[in-house]
Amino acid sequence: MIKRLAPHLEKVPGPKDRLDAARERRNHLAHTFCFDRAPDLCAPAPAIRLITELAADEEIFLNLFAEVQAISRAVIGKRVSPPLQPTPCTSR
């Protein structure tokens, strides 16, 4: 996705760098976070700290998603005709 949007992201300062950082963080979360932090997950105080950290990640990901979604919709809107209207289904 980042490669396909790169030409459009370069027109706006910042999103490409944040997307690259988000991808690196996502890969860390998916592949090594729990393994690296397993001891912290067993104790209440460190676990609360981890939950706070993950909540901050969630906010970053959601904000970045909204930003990229707006850029994507602008790009797609220039290329795609309006969506077809659904036709009512008839039952037999």
9 CB-side CA count, 13 A: 18
Top pLDDT among 10 and 68 is at 68
90 located within any domain = no
The pLDDT of residue 41 is 83
Q: What is the pLDDT of residues 26-69, one digit of tens each?
A: 999 999 998 999 888 888 889 899 999 999 999 999 999 998 88
83 located within any domain = no
57 located within any domain = yes
15 located within any domain = no
41 located within any domain = yes
Is the model's pTM score more than 0.85? no
Question: What are the structure tokens assigned to 10, written together?
Answer: 């370069």
Please count the structural domains in the chain.
1
The domain containing residue 53 runs over which residues?
Answer: 37-78
Estimate to the nearest angstrom the gap between the alpha carbon of 5 and the chain centroid.
14
67 located within any domain = yes
20 located within any domain = no
The pLDDT of residue 56 is 96
CB-based contacts of 57: which residues, under 8 Å, 6+ apart?
25, 29
SS3 11: coil
On the question of pLDDT at 82 being above 60, the answer is no
Share of the chain above pLDDT 90, in %: 33
Quote the CA–CA distance of 60 and 18 in Å, as a whole number. Answer: 9
